[in-house]
A and B are shown apart, each in its own frame.
Chain A
Amino acid sequence: MSPRPGFVLEVDRSTPPTLFWHGEGWRLERLPVGSRVVYPPEPFPALAEPDAAIRHALEHPVGDSSPLSSLLRPGAKVTIAFDDVSLPLPPMRGPDVRQRVVEAVLDTAAAAGVDDVVLVAALALHRRMTDDELRHALGSRVFDAFAPHGLLLQHDAEDPDGVVHLGCTDQGEDVEINRRAAESDLLVYVNINLVAMDGGHKSVATGLASYKSIRHHHNVRTMQQSRSFMDRHHSELHSSNWRMGRLIAKAGVKIFQIETTLNLDTFPSQFSFLQKREWEWSLRDRATFHATSTALEHTPAAMKRQIFQSIRSPHALTSVHAGEVEAVHDLTLADVHRQQLVHVEGQADVLTMGLPYICPYNVNSIMNPILVACLGLGYFFNLYRGKPLVREGGVCIMSHPTPWAFNPVHHPSYIDFFEQVLAETVDPLEIEAKYEESFATDPWYVHLYRTSNAYHGVHPFYMWYWCAHALQHLGQVIVVGGDRAAVRRLGFKPASSLADALEMAEDVVGRDPSITHLHNPPLFLADVT
């Protein structure tokens, strides 16, 4: 039976309560009659022979590219860059798709007699991965062959000798990327396209770039002009990356892009109820829901976090394309859209969403309040094509515990951003003008980014800029069940229940508002007309 597409349900009296993620847990909420719930499509089936599909893609590239084997020759200098720990979400069960692809590329390189191969984690300004995370992404065979010899590197955007300036775009954007990658005879980029934002020229132009380069597209203006950044053709973020990508190619950097898509099978079978439509829950689903809910209520926060962070997703490969960047990405994007698009007619006055325990920047870490804001207003709000799910001046209601908690190793500058910057203003433009540079160049953050496992000092700013479009568009943001002080610090309104939040929303959008609920998991892209 083919997977069912996503659809929009109109809530009536017989509709069972709707599942809302709530951090390391969930809630069943009864939405008012007439509300709409947007359900994601069911997962596409996995490719039956993923390794064969990968090898086929490498030898049958698209666009203006020769097969990988013909691009490799003895004595060639090859760099294989790969997406970091922020993808996929949750981390997938082994073998990770990066492992499959990298092994195939290495086999091809070995067969061609290539000796000079270096692997580079494309961190951009993300934290360095731990050895365990690298081993999980690449597999033990690759890790053990490269890491002990210093051939498994992590991109360092702050290494003055490790980046090279390739020029400026016609818009004056500096293009500065990893020197090893730029000076290789061939740069192979191994991508995971979990959402429509990923991949394309963004892979190299962001993943292997320096702050000097990234700041041209990771800023408030760009984000406010991206409608949305999940829609490449209406995303200033992507336009900038595309200009940079073309300059990189023009500068002579030869890129062989490999992009993969995964299905929406996000959680293992013991959590199958998360991805089912509530009225289709079996007796077992109901029992599991109640048992886990009760258990989680009595579990300390740190332990809950540990339990959820240990979840490995059953994501499976659904497509792989290789070759020239833009040609590859066009095919990939079409595959992502085929899997994830859900048609929605019209905008609502109020958008509701449950936020899970994880986002790209808290893998094996804490979902701090800034990340909560970014996940809701940055990612989920922008999961649209056409126009937002909520009208301009509308209200977004997010459900998340939003603890005032931070991982001091991963997010040191986030703590200062929250304590110092957000205490003064939540206006992205003011924040950018007044504080970005001092955080970005703070020697302590630079030190921690380069030597520890810390996100770059500027990273919390980017999280806030990610929210800029939503903050500009919305009339109010309400967080249900969040730490009240933390929610207020974000500039949002706290509410103890969904009913309270809906009442508060009426003060902004009027009585009996139209409501749309974005049901997840898994992720999907709303095509709003």
Chain B
Amino acid sequence: MREVLVERSLPRFAAARAAAALAGAAGGVAVAPLRLAEREQRPLPGPDWHHVTPLLSGICGSDLSTVDGASSRYFEPIVSFPFVLGHEIVGMVDDGPLAGSRVVVEPVLGCLARGIVPPCPACAAGRKGACERIGFGHLAPGLQTGYCADTGGGWSDGLVAHASQLHRVPDELADDAAVMVEPTACAVHAALLGAVQPGERAVVLGSGTLGLTTLAALRHHAHPGALLVVAKHPVQREMAAALGADQVVRPDELERAVRRLTTSLALARGRSTSRLTGGADVVFDCVGSSSSLASSLAVVRPGGRVVLVGMPGTLHVDLAPLWQREIALLGAYAYGAEQTPDGVRSTFDLAFELVAAAGLERLVSARYPLERYQEAVRHAGNAGRRGAVKVVFEIGRATSPAWRGRGPAPASPAPANPAPASPVPANPAPTSPVPANPVAANPTPESLETNA
């Protein structure tokens, strides 16, 4: 069994960090303590655990941070080495009562997975992302599958997952769509946490996977008066427009665009705008860098909210505006349970619905076999520049054509606010026919890399 293993090596992480500083995102992949390893199948940690064979496994921004040695040391006590990266997973269950089921893995390793009884208050309330026991129980520390030595991760031929982590995928939902469920769940959680009120002006900063799925979530779950999205690359701009952004701007246009949108005044000194006096009601920072947070603080109104969706590390940001303008800074991590007009719903259920309704499988741009992991990571690190959004590993056996779907990707934006789906406990069937990813329609055995 193969897996992309990350080992603990401070010198190699330091080298990766230096390489990334020189070569840009994913520049550290060649020197990071990362290798394709062979091993026996993992033992199951306990009852209700299953072997899962990934079909597709996505490459997330947090994975890239790990590869580049850029992850915060804050995570040290809540990860355990060596671990196998990959937490955006659609796979097949190999054993137990769920054998043969196609599932999406909800990677957070909460109290249930850890065998902790009674569960912590957060897990008891379904808010697994806020679990207070992520370093405890019968598992090695690890906030998620993909960072825990005992579970393995998605960048492999096999991992283990607790039954509470598994969400059955409706037959109609293609693998490309299913692999988008986990990042979409993060976006749904962030969008709901931002509590955008009807008519409020919202900004989504960043148009990678998180930014685009957050945009889709806001369109689906909120009624913003205006939704402005910052996108750097042409493919991101096209996707943002297709997913329902009212306005798509380049990063250097952000301040002026928000000023226009909100008819704010500005404190100018020889420039047209510099330091807005007003701003957007809510800003979703889907990048998580020093400059993106500074930009978020620069364009949010006094008393507004900044929701940090992208994973940050140690940032250098002037917080004077946060203080002087009484801005609320909210972190949005993972998922769990959400308060909706229909009552409390699982974030993953909401994400399944959104992926289907918004056609988010269109974000999957390229597939790689596991043995080309370095190329895949480099592609993901430069996704926007190379015309891609989500880069995934294609690992397990081919799924049936019905699951893959066929036909062109949808061109129309996500419905603004479709009728809320009925509270179905199992993952509901998608509300629209699953559009196919052109990649899936014609995979090439030699090179699976394609831009959608």
Contact = CB atoms under 8 A, between A and B. Distances in A.
Contacts of A522: none
A415 B250 CA distance: 13
B257 A419 contact: yes
B238 to A, nearest CB: 13
A416 B263 contact: no
Contacts of A199: none
Interface stretch (B62-70, B193-201, B268-276): B268-276
A286 interface: no
Interface in B246-263: 247, 249-250, 253, 256-257, 259-260, 263
A447 B265 contact: yes
A144 interface: no
Contacts of B256: 415-416, 419
Contact of B247 (A409, A420, A442, A447): A420
A412 B263 contact: no
B264 interface: yes
Contact of B272 (A415, A420, A443): A415
A419 B266 contact: no
B272 A412 contact: yes
Given A415-B272, A420-B247, A444 B253 contact: no
Contacts of B273: 408, 412, 444
Contacts of A416: 256-257, 260
Residue of A408, A438, A447, A448 with most partner-chain B CB within 10 A: A408
B259 A409 contact: no
Interface in B179-194: none
A412 B271 CA distance: 8
Nearest to B259: A444
A408 B272 contact: yes
Contacts of B260: 416, 420, 438, 442
Given A409-B270, A442-B260, A444-B259, A419 B253 contact: yes
Residue of B270, B271, B272, B273 with most partner-chain A CB within 10 A: B272
A444 B257 contact: no
Interface string B46-71: 00000000000000000000000000
Contacts of B250: 419
Given A419-B253, A419-B256, A420-B247, A442 B263 contact: yes
A484 to B, nearest CB: 14
A430 to B, nearest CB: 16
A448 B264 CA distance: 13
B259 to A, nearest CB: 6
A416 B270 CA distance: 17
B266 to A, nearest CB: 6
B379 to A, nearest CB: 26
B263 A420 contact: no
B272 A409 contact: yes
The secondary-structure label for the interface of chain A is: helix
Nearest to B250: A419
Interface in A423-452: 438, 442-444, 447-448, 452
Interface residues on chain A, size class: 10 to 19
Nearest to B248: A423
Nearest to A406: B272
Interface string B6-38: 000000000000000000000000000000000
B271 A408 contact: yes
Interface in B367-381: none
Interface string A452-473: 1000000000000000000000
A447 B249 CA distance: 25
Contacts of B265: 443-444, 447
A444 B264 CA distance: 7
B48 to A, nearest CB: 53
A399 B388 CA distance: 37
Contacts of A406: 272
Contacts of B249: 419-420
A420 B249 CA distance: 8
A412 B263 CA distance: 13
Nearest to B260: A416
Contacts of A447: 265
B263 A443 contact: yes
Nearest to B264: A444
A326 B359 CA distance: 66
Residue of B249, B263, B270, B271 with most partner-chain A CB within 10 A: B263
A447 B265 CA distance: 8
Interface string B113-136: 000000000000000000000000
A227 B259 CA distance: 38
B268 to A, nearest CB: 8
A517 B272 CA distance: 38
Contact of A444 (B247, B263, B270, B271): B263
Contacts of B266: 444
A392 B256 CA distance: 38
A342 to B, nearest CB: 41
A303 B147 CA distance: 56
Contacts of A415: 256, 272
A420 B260 CA distance: 9
A455 to B, nearest CB: 11
Interface in A170-228: none
Interface in A216-258: none
Contacts of A442: 260, 263
A87 to B, nearest CB: 26
Contacts of B271: 408-409
A415 B264 CA distance: 16
B109 to A, nearest CB: 45
Interface in A364-417: 406, 408-409, 412, 415-416
A443 B265 CA distance: 7
Interface string A306-330: 0000000000000000000000000
A438 B259 CA distance: 12
Contacts of A448: 268, 272
A416 B263 CA distance: 12
A408 B252 CA distance: 14
Report the 6 A-B pairs with minimum CB-CB distance, sorted nearest first: A412-B272, A408-B272, A419-B253, A408-B271, A416-B260, A444-B265
Interface of A: 406, 408-409, 412, 415-416, 419-420, 438, 442-444, 447-448, 452
19 contacts: A408-B270, A409-B271, A409-B272, A412-B272, A412-B273, A415-B256, A415-B272, A416-B257, A416-B260, A419-B249, A419-B250, A420-B249, A420-B257, A438-B260, A442-B260, A444-B259, A444-B264, A444-B265, A444-B266
Given A408-B270, A448-B268, 19 more contacts: A406-B272, A408-B272, A408-B273, A409-B271, A412-B273, A415-B256, A415-B272, A416-B260, A419-B249, A419-B250, A419-B256, A420-B249, A438-B260, A442-B260, A443-B265, A444-B259, A444-B264, A447-B265, A448-B272
Interface of B: 247, 249-250, 253, 256-257, 259-260, 263-266, 268, 270-273
